[in-house]
Structure 1
Amino acid sequence: MTDTENKSEKYNKLDLWDTKTILDTILESQLNAIASIKLISDELELTVTKAVPLLEAGGRLIFAGAGTSGRIAAQECAELYPTFSWPKNKAHFLLAGGQKAFSEAIENAEDNIAQGEHDAEKLKPTAKDIFICCAASGRTPYTLGVMRTANLSGSLTIGISSVAQSPLLNEAKIKLNAKTGAEVIAGSTRMKAGTAQKVILNMLTTSIMIRLNRTYDSYMIDLVATNEKLNSRAIKIVAGICNVTTESAKESLVICKGKVKLACVYLKYKDLKTAEEILLEHAGNLRKCLE
């Protein structure tokens, strides 16, 4: 069995423990899982460094996985557009079993390596694309199929697994091995391994978007305001960056059709066409535009 599936003696007779001890133990295991990520900080930095120029050249972020790993990866993919206005055609996810697998287990879907290859081939991968493939055990056939097709296409492949020397990590161009070890419930990798995957994906996508000029200071200047809460947030961001009243911020957003970044530049130059040109000239770097 792999490290993620082993039973740990540490958790013997778990069902006989008192509830508070169980809760404290689960929390401790989660914190340890997060701490394990510190050991791969160099690999994470390398991933961001290699990914940014590929995306600037028109590449795509493509996430893949099965079961819990696939659902975590799909969630990360889904958040990129509303948070950073990352184009929907530049972010894809491949989940074993397809859309139905979001809410229920699809029998044997993860065991089909050919399906993984086929699903990846449908995206017509190129050397500009980045595939982030997640599998706690590092040996899920579907995810391996995706990675193999990506590698044959020259794409940048990143493997996220809790097991060193697993097939996924052996074949990945960048190996992200968070050594989370045995789970409190043996084999339940939705726990420590899943937490580590989610944190790693948060770190990667957020850092990449920062490097792609989709933040200013710690503001999300490319958010898509689709409801009242987000509209209010957009107004606060513009007011905070430009040091103007909420009314002025709101007016600029109306003129700029809700685009926070553009509204900030517009408030500096008082002309929409000029603001658009300057934003384009500086490749969306708001700090350079405002300087």
Structure 2
Amino acid sequence: MASRTEDFDSRFAGLDQWSDADFLMALWEGQMRAVASVGPVLEDLATAADGIARRLGGGGRLVYVGAGTSGTVAWQDAKELGGTFGWPEEHTIVMLAGGLQSAPNEFNSAEDDIDLAAREISQHNISDKDAIIAIAASGMTPYTLRALELARERGAFTVGICNNPDGSLLKIAESGVFLDSSPEVVAGSTRMGAGTAQKAALNILSTLVMNKLGRLFDNLMVGMRAENIKLRDRAVRIVARIASCNEEQAKDALVKSDFDIRPAVLVVKGHTPARAQKILGLSNGNLRAALEYRD
């Protein structure tokens, strides 16, 4: 049985002959429907985030699994965790069927390769310390399903995100998230509605996870890596705001702290860089807890 992401919607019959304005309006409405599909599953995302944060807080790794559009959406979310939140790359794994550099025909056919999924789960030594986010629009992609099955057998915390209520992904995962974004305006083109819904859901999920791990203070990215001029300027403003100091003091503290925002805030508060790092270590990297730390 085909998934709902493959359905033909009669409302869009003759789409290829519509005016540009009507064509774009239909696509825009499809995108709005996709984003709206995330609202009803916020509780599911909160449950998933809690499970993920528990594993990562214990030293585990965050593993993204997907194929095709779903895989590239997952890769994008994973790629941004380091720069935005300072999440270490060695604690992030992306299992993308065929890999980003594969030829189009290899990229598409790899989603059926269950042996590849098994090899990669084994090579990465997935264990009960890790958390897996598996994504598939249909919820039935063989590569993704097999990886999720094996990860759960190994004791990993598993999250399945799909756009089909009958997707096997929802049944296999410990925490299932159904995004009701279908049908697609262009039938079967899950790079449109399903992809948008997945991106929005992952944005929300990973941001909540990072917050649970102390990577935010108020609404500020205190784990951010200040790797260019714009980000260094932002880091100065963040430190100045949190530490209630002027920008000159903030910049001086950042220089002493290798432009790491969290220890820089503690340096402004009177700690040496070494002491600041020690306090953060004792506080699991959580700046709010570190500011409240007492010997």
TM-score bucket of the superposed structures, by smaller chain: over 0.9
Give matches, 1:96-245, under 5 Å: 96-101=97-102, 104-106=104-106, 107-245=108-246
Aligned to 1:289: 290
- The answer on whether the counterparts of 1:65 and 1:133 sit within 8 Å (CA) in structure 2 is yes
One-letter code aligned to 1:281:
L
One-letter code aligned to 2:169:
L
Shift of 1:276: 2.3
Moved more, 53-62 or 34-43: 34-43
| C-alpha separation in 1, matches of 2:114 and 2:275 | 52
Shift of 1:105: 4.7
| C-alpha separation in 2, matches of 1:141 and 1:109 | 9
Moved more, 276-285 or 1-10: 276-285
| C-alpha separation in 1, matches of 2:257 and 2:280 | 13
- The answer on whether the counterparts of 1:67 and 1:105 sit within 8 Å (CA) in structure 2 is no
Indicate yes or no: 2:283 matched with 1:279: no
| C-alpha separation in 1, matches of 2:189 and 2:80 | 25
Structure 2: runs of 5 or more not aligned: none
Aligned to 1:29: 30
| C-alpha separation in 1, matches of 2:166 and 2:187 | 20
Moved more, 280-289 or 187-196: 280-289
| C-alpha separation in 2, matches of 1:186 and 1:45 | 31
Aligned residue for 1:133, secondary structure, equals strand
Query: What is the CA deviation profile of residues 12-59 of structure 1, one whole-angstrom value per residue up to 9, with x for unaligned ones?
Result: 111121111111211111111111112212211111121212111111
Give matches, 1:261-276, under 5 Å: 261-276=262-277
- The answer on whether the counterparts of 2:217 and 2:287 sit within 8 Å (CA) in structure 1 is yes
Give matches, 1:71-86, under 5 Å: 71-86=72-87
| C-alpha separation in 1, matches of 2:161 and 2:111 | 16
- The answer on whether the counterparts of 2:3 and 2:166 sit within 8 Å (CA) in structure 1 is no
- The answer on whether the counterparts of 1:64 and 1:94 sit within 8 Å (CA) in structure 2 is yes
Aligned to 2:11: 10
| C-alpha separation in 2, matches of 1:63 and 1:89 | 13
Aligned to 1:19: 20
Query: What is the CA deviation profile of residues 214-234 of structure 1, one whole-angstrom value per residue up to 9, with x for unaligned ones?
Result: 110111011111111111111
Query: What is the CA deviation profile of residues 117-164 of structure 1, one whole-angstrom value per residue up to 9, with x for unaligned ones?
Result: 111111111112111111101111111121121011011111111011
- The answer on whether the counterparts of 1:115 and 1:145 sit within 8 Å (CA) in structure 2 is no
Moved more, 39-48 or 3-12: 39-48
Structure 1: runs of 5 or more not aligned: none
**Aligned-residue CA RMSD (Å):** 1.4
| C-alpha separation in 2, matches of 1:275 and 1:154 | 36
| C-alpha separation in 2, matches of 1:60 and 1:141 | 23
- The answer on whether the counterparts of 2:160 and 2:176 sit within 8 Å (CA) in structure 1 is yes
| C-alpha separation in 1, matches of 2:235 and 2:192 | 35
One-letter code aligned to 1:230:
L
| C-alpha separation in 1, matches of 2:95 and 2:272 | 43
- The answer on whether the counterparts of 2:235 and 2:261 sit within 8 Å (CA) in structure 1 is yes
Shift of 1:270: 4.2
Aligned residue for 1:186, secondary structure, equals coil
Shift of 1:78: 0.8
| C-alpha separation in 2, matches of 1:119 and 1:132 | 15
| C-alpha separation in 1, matches of 2:256 and 2:122 | 42
Q: TM-score, normalised by structure 2?
A: 0.94
Aligned to 1:249: 250
Report the count of equivalent residues.
290
Stretches (4+) displaced over 4 A = none
Query: What is the CA deviation profile of residues 191-245 of structure 1, one whole-angstrom value per residue up to 9, with x for unaligned ones?
Result: 1100111011111110000010011011101111111111111111111212222
| C-alpha separation in 2, matches of 1:192 and 1:162 | 9
- The answer on whether the counterparts of 1:160 and 1:169 sit within 8 Å (CA) in structure 2 is yes
Shift of 1:251: 0.9
| C-alpha separation in 2, matches of 1:71 and 1:104 | 13
